[in-house]
Structure 1
Amino acid sequence: MKFSKNSITEIFKDLSEYFKSTDFSKAILLGIALTLPIIAGVKLEALQIGITITVGALLASPSDVSGSIRHKITATLFATLLAMVVSLIGGYLHLSLWLLFPVLGVLMFGISYISIYGFRASLISFSGLFALVLSFSNVSGGMEPYNRVLLIGLGGLWYVLLVLLWHYIFPKAPTEYYLSKTIKLTADYLKSRGELVAETTDRTTLLKKLLSIQTELTAIHETLRDILIESRTGSGKSDYEGKRLLIFVQLVDMLELAMANPVNYSKTDDFFKRKPEQLADFQGLLFAMSNRMNAIAANISNPKKLQKNNNIEEFQKKIKRDIAEYSSASNETFDESLLLLKNLFKYQKEQIRKIQKIEWLLKNPAQRDLSLLNKEDSRRFLTKQNYDFEVLVENFNMRSPIFKHSLRLAVMTMIGYGVGMMFSVQNPYWILLTLIVIMRPTFGLTKTRSKERTIGTLIGGALAVGIVLITQNTTVYGILAIVSLVIAFSMVQRNYKAAATFITLSVVFIYALLRPDIFNVIQYRVMDTLIGAGLATLGNLLLWPAWEIQGMQKTLLETLKANRLYLEEIIGYYNQKGIIPSKYKVARKKAFLEMSNLSAAFQRMTQEPKSKQKNLDKVYEITVLNHTFLSSLASLSTYILSNPTTPASKNFNKVSEKIVRNLSDAEAVLKEEIISENDGEIYESEDVFDATFGKNISFSEEEKSSKSEGFHSKIEEAHLVREQLKWLLAMSEKMPKLLRETKF
């Protein structure tokens, strides 16, 4: 196989990013947390104590995910406490076989049900499930349950201490990594936009890529909000954190600005066919902006290394010249092509200003030059989790996906352990471990994990056999066990198949140090994984399956509600003008987040069996309609916020109120409520719009003949606001109709 220079460069870039990632640093931290107690145990001739402390550190570690240090420590302490309680109960389960199965089922259900409180709660829940599974193993060598529990607690505290120490040694590392990653993704977004401007047969693939980047950006934005805003809340107004938060604000605005300027490709294709040199200039500017963002990302920790680059400025001059030449050659009062060019260039200039602002902020401006965000206002951008007891009660029914998942997991773990005992499997708890790792609330995710876990285990088993045939050196096994474990934990979020491969290698080599029959260990490891993966898939398929269509109604309702609230904030600002309220930004963030959730839900739906993809075409149409609606909202809001505008007219308010009512009607359809007639108006969207605004934009002859800058601004505002309102109205009319036709 031949590698080109570009492909080798890409490999080195990927490796460099991997070693800089928080996943890798956490894996190194975990490697230290797990190996030091064992080394100390060997030196002090207390290996079982060292192993049990290691188990405690391992059980505490899942909750150590990216976010604020306060959330990390709180979650890790709760995970340690849960692991201690579960380990104590698990230590006495072996006294009676009749007691074991029902208690195992009840515990599995109860611990799994904790994940109803969100992502971090699901990680704490996993620690509890993991602790319960390990209580069936003999890793503590027959130690009394209460002694084992105390050592597990000590291991958890040891891990918390290391997390705190790591944070104080590398306090900026998570912020720098996620900020750099966000800048790179934004650069990819701009590059994809540049590729889309050119007429291409592969535009559908590029649009899917654009949506994928947008979804990933939205997820990383949530992580950065938690890191930046919570750290300011805990430690006051840090100059460093304040600047990084302002950079983050620019990046969020860049995503909204990109979404707010969807390109009408049929019109651009038609124009650029006649003017290919202008296409090259517009596309070149987007690529230059993308390259500059990548350069900023690469030097975010040391911005002084950023070299001056004039490419952006040169392309700007070319485009200005192109527009001036086209404008002087045009004799039309209202030239739509000229407006298209001006709007496209205006969008690019806005993005350039934001890139320049990011560079300025990185070059450490004086504190007095900064306008830092108010602490209380910034806290409103955090997504708050409701931890009330009522949440448990409300979801304690078969309509809740988490309730069904918990029940399913409880049943399958009882069956799995029964199968292991019936066939005298060497380590039946491996089947339970496979089940708790693979099983997810939805079938699509479970199927994907089952496949990746099985393939990874088979590859790991094959590699282990090869290594064992080459050498029987226990020192080599020990080194490989530690290295494999570190790589495995660093790959869990990135590539689960690779993670499963290295986990298998680590487990095999750890057992190779304790048992001479290593080939039996590999054989049972593979067999237990296959049993666990099969049971997990069957469980999600046969036991109270939670198909995505069942939760789609709620997801759509949240998306529509978020879009409606965002629209109401836009209407309010257009009427009042003045300072942009934080409520507007919170509503915008919520709309983008819910749209990402809807896109992810649809993607999961496509992974399900064909027979369960109920109304897939309709759901796809509704998803695309909501995405287009949000893009149009962002376009309207960005124009209103970025340009001096005239007072909102009565016609604007009348049509926008109609759009809000249509969205409320769509929400009512999803809630299965009765929709009342809106003031007796029974118009199609075209009729409503034309009856309100008229069919054409009207200007006086004096205004038309003046061709002043003010007139151009006025006609641009009238054209853009009118077109966006008309488009929003048509889409809002379509939503209730589509939802009535869709059976959930």
Structure 2
Amino acid sequence: MSTVSVFISENIKELLQFLRSISFSKAIRVGIAVTLPVLIGLRFGYLEIGLALSFGAFWSSPSDVIGSFRHKKFGILMSATLIMIVSFIKGYLDVELWLLLPILGLITFAIALISVYGFRASLISFSGLMAFVLSFSLESELEIYQYALLLGAGGLWYLLLSKVWYRINPKAETEEFLSETYLLTAEFIETRGKLMDPNEDHEKLQSQLLKLQSDLTTNHETLREILILSRKASGWSNYQNRRLLIFAQLIEMLETAIANPVNYDRMDALFRAHPQYVKRFQDLIFEMSAQLRLMFEAGNDSRKLPKNATMNQCFEKVRHEVALLRETEYYEEYLMLQNLLGYQEKQSEKLKRIKWLLGDHELAETDLIDRKKARRFIVPQDYDPSLYFRSFSFKSAIFRHSVRLAVTVMIGYALGSIFAFQNPYSILLIIIVIMRPSYGLTRNRAKDRMIGTLIGGAIAFGVVFLIQDPYVYAIMGIISLVIAISLVQKNYKASATFITLSVVFIYAILIPDVSSLIKFRILDTLVGAGLSYAALLWLWPTWEFTDIKDSIIKSVNANKDFLNKITAYYQLKGHIPTSYNIARKQAFLETSNLSSAFQRMTQEPKSKQRNIDKIYELVVLNHDFLASMASLSTYIKHYDTTEASERFIAATEKIEYNLERVVQCLQNKTCDGMIISPENKRFFEASKIINLTSKDKEALRGFQEAHLVWEQLEWLYSTSGQMLKLTESMELN
């Protein structure tokens, strides 16, 4: 009974969380924006006007995505403008099929290419394509210009509703993304803790870690935009200041979680011989992970925040166990564990700082973050009009996708017209919704769309067979639309099911032969999905192996720049410069982008997965390189270190030189004979020799610093050398 109760409780909790989510909130907003004009139009006898406003609102809604409201406003206005233009053009496209097809292809291409301006632009493009395609199905008694203007007015109506919604609850997006970041950080820390156990499946955990880091980096980028660019007319609020400071701590937690001692063989040997150390450290790490999850559940209620008592007890046990190693033959391992313990202490300080910020405490002037400096972390999108025309090249993935989409739309409409499909435009809509630039995403969406349509069609047929009430159809159609929109990002298969239900219920009010509608709906979906999949395989396909080289180069260069900033900071110390934090952000971002590129590659056909084992090894090495830099930077930032020696500077120069050779090898394949110099290897081994026999308490910190710094430098040099050897052996051109 208790198991059943727990199951029910967890599902109710998930349901309530879903109902409070911004995805569901947006779906409700779209539902109101679509239904209210129709209801008012019906009430006062202006149904045509109500429908036009509803369509304008619905087609403008895709660009209403997470981010600053200023960017949302820009996106919705641009969507409304594009919708007006394409609907006006479509109104005069009453021409023969042989002439309509090339015009259809040209307009589709022109709209699709707008995606070169970034993610939000791709949603504006999607709005324009959806409006253009669905205009083929609409016949209005209004004049063409009147109808187009009303569609634009519908976009403004949706913008007004969004503005009101935002004013009612301006904190919703910030709180949801912060909460999600708590959970992702907790899972990341927990996975790092599991990796300490030498008996765990390290390859599986490493893959999970790469995926989590990619998700976290994406969340961080979104939070930066929300917190740094979202500004009220009255200036920055205390709430925004606190959340920005919490966000800064979460970023630091990610870096600290990645940091680790690097002599894995010696550490694994110690952990196998003395498993109690694994247990103690894991208990501590898992407790910090659990505290982040409790902070997620607490929300804004400071009374529910977790206490520090359990975490402090875990620290006491770890300190006691580590201290026992000091008088043994494992003195070097003792230094490694002492450094690892230091990382966890810094991690706990960040946790306590977040809890303090979530409480009701006054912020000091020194706590506040310089907004001008913070804006440097946001990379502005280039909206230069010339970028659109510079993209006219088959080297551009967006250009190839736009051409592919245009040709597929032409083929789809020709098939729908020649073979007398009930609604040829339905095939076009499926193509536009399913087809994406990447193979894996298109394949998954095609599969999910077909399965969702079949399930939705079966359910709709059963409901319509049992119920013949247009009012019930209308209510169920609206409910299905809201659920479909709220699930688009979370579960596309379920979303496709509810989209089918919504379409069938709405059409059931107008068309008596519902079984025929369902049959053609399924047929349109199968044809559209099949064409999309075939086009991605045979029409100027974009395979990840052709572009992953650029992702590797960007990540290696970002790591090299971060190492350069760490070296500079070690020499100067003092206040951490903004350029250092920007370099760190870029290193994490590019490493995540490389991991994402590799994940996309694994979803492609086996014949297109060239050098996949070596690329995976390179991705892992690149991540290990970043982890080692995180260890070095965390130690340098949080401890009083000695002055950087000439040997330290010489060592980092050798590592940077290796990375330069990796990039050179990738760019022009001039890497023949690039081997690791024996002299350099001896240099690192000689520099690493430190006095591990002295037990002088005052010398301990110096030994710790020398041990950690030279361990990390030797590891960085070794890792960069392995990356160089791998790069030599790969064919990426």
TM-score, normalized by the shorter chain, greater than 0.5: yes
Matches of 2:357 and 2:535 in 1, distance apart?
A: 53
Residue in structure 2 matching 1:714, options 702, 705, 716:
702
Matches of 2:423 and 2:319 in 1, distance apart?
A: 72
Name the structure 2 match of 1:280: 279
1:374 aligns to 2:355 (yes or no) = no
For residues 269-328 of structure 1, give each alpha carbon's deviation from its aligned partner in whole angstroms, at most 9, with x where no partner exists.
43334434443322222222122111111122221333535211111122222223333x
Asked if 2 retains the 8 angstrom alpha-carbon contact of 1:480 and 1:506, the reply is yes
1:35 aligns to 2:35 (yes or no) = yes
Q: How does 1:617-636 map to 2 (within 5 A)?
A: 617-636=613-632
Asked if 1 retains the 8 angstrom alpha-carbon contact of 2:62 and 2:123, the reply is yes
Asked if 1 retains the 8 angstrom alpha-carbon contact of 2:690 and 2:707, the reply is no
Letter of the 1:180 counterpart: S
Moved more, 111-120 or 188-197: 188-197
Asked if 2 retains the 8 angstrom alpha-carbon contact of 1:651 and 1:693, the reply is no
Residue in structure 2 matching 1:471, options 452, 467, 472:
467
Give the 3-state SS of the residue equivalent to 1:95 in structure 2.
coil
1:89 aligns to 2:93 (yes or no) = no
Give the 3-state SS of the residue equivalent to 1:545 in structure 2.
coil
Q: How does 1:529-544 map to 2 (within 5 A)?
A: 529-544=525-540
Name the structure 2 match of 1:689: 681
Give the 3-state SS of the residue equivalent to 1:688 in structure 2.
helix
Q: How does 1:263-302 map to 2 (within 5 A)?
A: 266-302=265-301
Letter of the 1:339 counterpart: L
Moved more, 428-437 or 202-211: 202-211
Moved more, 230-239 or 542-551: 230-239
> What is the deviation of 1:509?
0.5
Name the structure 2 match of 1:122: 122
For residues 22-42 of structure 1, give each alpha carbon's deviation from its aligned partner in whole angstroms, at most 9, with x where no partner exists.
111111111111111111111
Q: How does 1:161-240 map to 2 (within 5 A)?
A: 161-232=160-231, 236-240=235-239
Give the 3-state SS of the residue equivalent to 1:53 in structure 2.
helix
Name the structure 2 match of 1:646: 642
> What is the deviation of 1:389?
3.0
Matches of 1:657 and 1:584 in 2, distance apart?
A: 18
Name the structure 1 match of 2:718: 730
Give the 3-state SS of the residue equivalent to 1:425 in structure 2.
coil
> What is the deviation of 1:257?
0.7
1:517 aligns to 2:513 (yes or no) = yes
Asked if 2 retains the 8 angstrom alpha-carbon contact of 1:232 and 1:375, the reply is no
Name the structure 2 match of 1:48: 48
Letter of the 1:77 counterpart: L
Give the 3-state SS of the residue equivalent to 2:644 in structure 1.
coil
Letter of the 2:432 counterpart: I
Letter of the 2:59 counterpart: L
Letter of the 2:45 counterpart: E
> What is the deviation of 1:482?
0.6
Relative to 1, partners in 2 of residues 1:712 and 1:185: Cα closer, same or farther, differing over 3 Å?
same
For residues 175-200 of structure 1, give each alpha carbon's deviation from its aligned partner in whole angstroms, at most 9, with x where no partner exists.
11111111111112222233333343
Matches of 2:113 and 2:132 in 1, distance apart?
A: 15
Matches of 2:94 and 2:261 in 1, distance apart?
A: 63
Matches of 2:48 and 2:379 in 1, distance apart?
A: 43
Asked if 2 retains the 8 angstrom alpha-carbon contact of 1:685 and 1:730, the reply is no
Matches of 1:250 and 1:624 in 2, distance apart?
A: 26
Name the structure 2 match of 1:260: 259
Letter of the 1:174 counterpart: E
Relative to 1, partners in 2 of residues 1:130 and 1:358: Cα closer, same or farther, differing over 3 Å?
same
Moved more, 339-348 or 181-190: 339-348
Name the structure 2 match of 1:409: 405
Relative to 1, partners in 2 of residues 1:440 and 1:584: Cα closer, same or farther, differing over 3 Å?
same
Matches of 1:8 and 1:263 in 2, distance apart?
A: 44
1:13 aligns to 2:13 (yes or no) = yes
> What is the deviation of 1:416?
0.2
Letter of the 1:249 counterpart: A
> What is the deviation of 1:15?
1.9
Matches of 1:665 and 1:195 in 2, distance apart?
A: 35
Name the structure 1 match of 2:131: 131
> What is the deviation of 1:669?
2.3
Asked if 2 retains the 8 angstrom alpha-carbon contact of 1:20 and 1:177, the reply is no
Asked if 2 retains the 8 angstrom alpha-carbon contact of 1:197 and 1:265, the reply is no
Name the structure 2 match of 1:573: 569
For residues 679-703 of structure 1, give each alpha carbon's deviation from its aligned partner in whole angstroms, at most 9, with x where no partner exists.
xxx872553032366165244xxx9
Relative to 1, partners in 2 of residues 1:82 and 1:2: Cα closer, same or farther, differing over 3 Å?
farther
For residues 43-87 of structure 1, give each alpha carbon's deviation from its aligned partner in whole angstroms, at most 9, with x where no partner exists.
112222111111000111000000111111111111111111111
Name the structure 2 match of 1:604: 600
Asked if 2 retains the 8 angstrom alpha-carbon contact of 1:685 and 1:729, the reply is no
Asked if 1 retains the 8 angstrom alpha-carbon contact of 2:688 and 2:707, the reply is no
Name the structure 2 match of 1:68: 68
Matches of 1:109 and 1:705 in 2, distance apart?
A: 72
Give the 3-state SS of the residue equivalent to 2:422 in structure 1.
coil
Moved more, 463-472 or 527-536: 463-472
Asked if 1 retains the 8 angstrom alpha-carbon contact of 2:688 and 2:711, the reply is no
Matches of 1:191 and 1:162 in 2, distance apart?
A: 41
For residues 153-212 of structure 1, give each alpha carbon's deviation from its aligned partner in whole angstroms, at most 9, with x where no partner exists.
110000000111011100111111111111111112222233333343434333322222
Relative to 1, partners in 2 of residues 1:261 and 1:69: Cα closer, same or farther, differing over 3 Å?
same
Matches of 1:522 and 1:305 in 2, distance apart?
A: 51
Residue in structure 2 matching 1:421, options 417, 422, 427:
417
Matches of 2:506 and 2:52 in 1, distance apart?
A: 15
Relative to 1, partners in 2 of residues 1:578 and 1:230: Cα closer, same or farther, differing over 3 Å?
same
Letter of the 1:689 counterpart: K
> What is the deviation of 1:352?
0.7
What are structure 2's unaligned runs of at least 5 residues? none
Matches of 2:323 and 2:615 in 1, distance apart?
A: 45
Name the structure 1 match of 2:342: 346
Letter of the 2:681 counterpart: F
> What is the deviation of 1:517?
0.9
Asked if 2 retains the 8 angstrom alpha-carbon contact of 1:685 and 1:733, the reply is no
For residues 329-376 of structure 1, give each alpha carbon's deviation from its aligned partner in whole angstroms, at most 9, with x where no partner exists.
x244x7122123212221211111000000111113213365211111
Asked if 1 retains the 8 angstrom alpha-carbon contact of 2:325 and 2:334, the reply is yes
Letter of the 1:425 counterpart: F
Name the structure 2 match of 1:355: 351
Q: How does 1:655-694 map to 2 (within 5 A)?
A: 655-672=651-668, 674=670, 684-685=676-677, 687-691=679-683, 694=686
Asked if 2 retains the 8 angstrom alpha-carbon contact of 1:659 and 1:728, the reply is yes
1:742 aligns to 2:701 (yes or no) = no
Letter of the 1:211 counterpart: L
Moved more, 630-639 or 199-208: 199-208
Name the structure 2 match of 1:249: 248
Relative to 1, partners in 2 of residues 1:706 and 1:204: Cα closer, same or farther, differing over 3 Å?
closer
Relative to 1, partners in 2 of residues 1:263 and 1:463: Cα closer, same or farther, differing over 3 Å?
farther
Matches of 1:619 and 1:296 in 2, distance apart?
A: 38
Give the 3-state SS of the residue equivalent to 1:493 in structure 2.
coil
- Give the structure-1-normalised TM-score: 0.94
1:399 aligns to 2:421 (yes or no) = no
Asked if 2 retains the 8 angstrom alpha-carbon contact of 1:180 and 1:297, the reply is yes
Matches of 2:578 and 2:386 in 1, distance apart?
A: 30
For residues 123-143 of structure 1, give each alpha carbon's deviation from its aligned partner in whole angstroms, at most 9, with x where no partner exists.
1110111111011112x5343
Name the structure 2 match of 1:494: 490
- Give the structure-2-normalised TM-score: 0.96
Moved more, 733-742 or 449-458: 733-742
> What is the deviation of 1:382?
1.0
Asked if 1 retains the 8 angstrom alpha-carbon contact of 2:687 and 2:710, the reply is no
For residues 102-132 of structure 1, give each alpha carbon's deviation from its aligned partner in whole angstroms, at most 9, with x where no partner exists.
1111111111011011101101110111111
Letter of the 1:29 counterpart: R
Letter of the 1:14 counterpart: E
